[in-house]
Amino acid sequence: MELGHAEVEQVWPRGGRVRLTGFIAGAEAGSAPETATLTLTDRDHPTVVLTCPATLRGGRFETSFGIDLLASASPLEGDDGRQVWDLHLKVPGRSEPLRLGRHLDDIPNKKKVITFPAQTDDTPMGPISVKPYYTVQSNLSLICRRG
């Protein structure tokens, strides 16, 4: 994996929120906190992008968002009523956002061996569930479903 990606260390889905921590691989450790931005992009509709703040300190990042953020974006579409959201981190001083993933460990096949609990929420459009997962490329994404 190339240097300069957002390496996920911990994913905490609980209490209707998802909290993420990690570090920027290849980043120099600065001491002053900076504000970065987590972006969530609808894979099937890339113009639908949600954002939330992230804290960056010493090359490490932390962010948290409520799953109601996803419910507010757009109705779930498709026959299976699901949306897939890809996660990136926009970091000050870098022109391209960094894809969140877990590449620097020795765990193969993360998509099959690492699972996270789904978080559920009642919305005006009905109940939804949001579940983090690792893709076959070991990147972090979310699946959002009705019910």
In a domain, 110, yes or no: yes
Nearest alpha-carbon partner for 102 in 143, 137, 58, 62: 137
Domain count, the chain: 1
Number of C-beta neighbours around residue 18 at 10 A: 27
pLDDT for residue 82: 86
Nearest to 100 by CA among 23, 19, 12, 14: 23
Q: What is the pLDDT of residue 77?
A: 57
Residues 76/42, Cβ–Cβ less than 8 Å:
no
Domain presence at residue 46: yes
Residue 125 lies in a domain: yes
- Answer whether residue 73 is part of any domain: yes
The predicted pLDDT at position 99 comes to 96
Q: What is residue 72's three-state secondary structure?
A: coil
Note the pLDDT of residue 78: 55
Q: Tokens 């990136």 belong to which residue? A: 88
Tens-digit pLDDT profile for the chain (147 aa)? 344 689 999 999 999 899 999 999 876 666 567 899 999 999 999 999 999 999 999 889 999 999 988 877 765 555 567 899 999 999 988 889 999 999 999 899 999 999 999 999 887 777 889 999 999 999 999 999 977
In a domain, 1, yes or no: no
pLDDT at position 2: 44
The closest of 130, 33, 19 to 91, measured between CA atoms, is 33
Residue 16 lies in a domain: yes
> Which residues constitute the domain of residue 44?
6-146
Does any domain span residue 69? Answer: yes
The model's pLDDT over 12-47, given as tens digits with 9 standing for 90+, comes to: 999 989 999 999 987 666 656 789 999 999 999 999
Query: What is the per-residue pLDDT for 124?
Result: 75
Report yes or no on 42 lying in a domain.
Answer: yes
pLDDT of residue 1: 38
Sign of CA dihedral 84, 41, 109, 118: negative
